[in-house]
């Protein structure tokens, strides 16, 4: 990953295919992933049945398909509108995010039955946290160059998501309180190994796995 990717204050607009339009498209795509918990927990069975699969099988199949496409994209050096220039030779943020979201859907415990948002008492806040916190923190860092302000804004949104899920779908309060900061923490590191789209999901998901024996 280049210095562009690891600079906490990098202006991704300058490095996005399509400039500001591409950047806006990427942000819109990112936020639209907030619909995934609803589609999976409420309509997952009906959607996957069109392909003669179970909901979990469908998630795995989609994830594998995207990774295969991503491998082909990297091999050919293709980048599309909204992607950054340096993603031509490495795993893209979209692919990292897709993999992390798929793992959240597959690993986070489900409150049976499917067909209602209450089924996703853990997966929903984990995914919503990433889709909503990341764009806000990213834009504050890009435009204000203020990490402290980005963290504060991220915590406000993350706690709103997690506590909102507590009141609306029954997410355990102690889980919401303890895991909300991990969503924000996943946005802070500038690592050359993994994109923050993944760490913002995998950190709270890992925390959840450690908390589950006590719940």
Extents of the domains making up the chain: 3-203
Evaluate if residue 141 carries a pLDDT over 80. yes
- Token reading at 201: 């999901």
> What average pLDDT does this structure show over 19-40?
84
d(CA 48, CA 52) in angstroms, rounded, equals 6
Write down the residue that tokens 């499917």 correspond to: 114
Write down the residue that tokens 């562009």 correspond to: 4
What lies within 8 Å, CB to CB, of 141 at 6+ separation is 8, 9, 147, 150
Kindly indicate the confidence band of residue 36, based on its pLDDT and cuts at 50, 70 and 90. Answer: very high
Mean pLDDT taken over the chain: 87
H and E: helices and strands count for the chain:
10, 0
Residue 26, pLDDT score? 76
d(CA 45, CA 58) in angstroms, rounded, equals 9
Instruction: Give the pTM.
Output: 0.88
Contact 179, 121 (CB under 8 A): no
d(CA 1, CA 192) in angstroms, rounded, equals 5
């Amino acid at each position: 990953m280049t210095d562009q990717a690891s600079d906490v204050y990098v202006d991704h607009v300058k490095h996005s295919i399509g400039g500001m339009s591409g950047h806006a498209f990427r942000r819109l795509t990112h936020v639209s992933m907030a619909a995934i918990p609803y589609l999976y927990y409420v309509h997952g069975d009906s959607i996957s049945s069109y392909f003669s699969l179970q909901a979990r099988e469908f998630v795995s199949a989609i994830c594998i398909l995207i990774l295969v496409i991503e491998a082909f994209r990297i091999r050919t050096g293709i980048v599309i509108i909204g992607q950054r220039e340096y993603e031509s030779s490495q795993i893209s943020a979209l692919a990292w995010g897709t993999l992390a979201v798929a793992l959240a859907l597959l690993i986070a415990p489900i409150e049976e039955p499917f067909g209602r948002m209450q089924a996703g008492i853990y997966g929903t806040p984990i995914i919503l946290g990433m889709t909503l916190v990341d764009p806000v923190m990213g834009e504050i860092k890009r435009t204000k160059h203020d990490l402290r302000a980005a963290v504060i804004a991220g915590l406000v949104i993350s706690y709103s998501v997690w506590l909102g899920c507590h009141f609306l779908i029954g997410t355990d309060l102690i889980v919401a309180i303890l895991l909300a900061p991990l969503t924000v923490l996943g946005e802070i590191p500038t690592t050359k190994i993994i994109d923050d789209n993944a760490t913002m999901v995998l950190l709270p998901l890992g925390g959840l796995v450690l908390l589950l024996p006590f719940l």
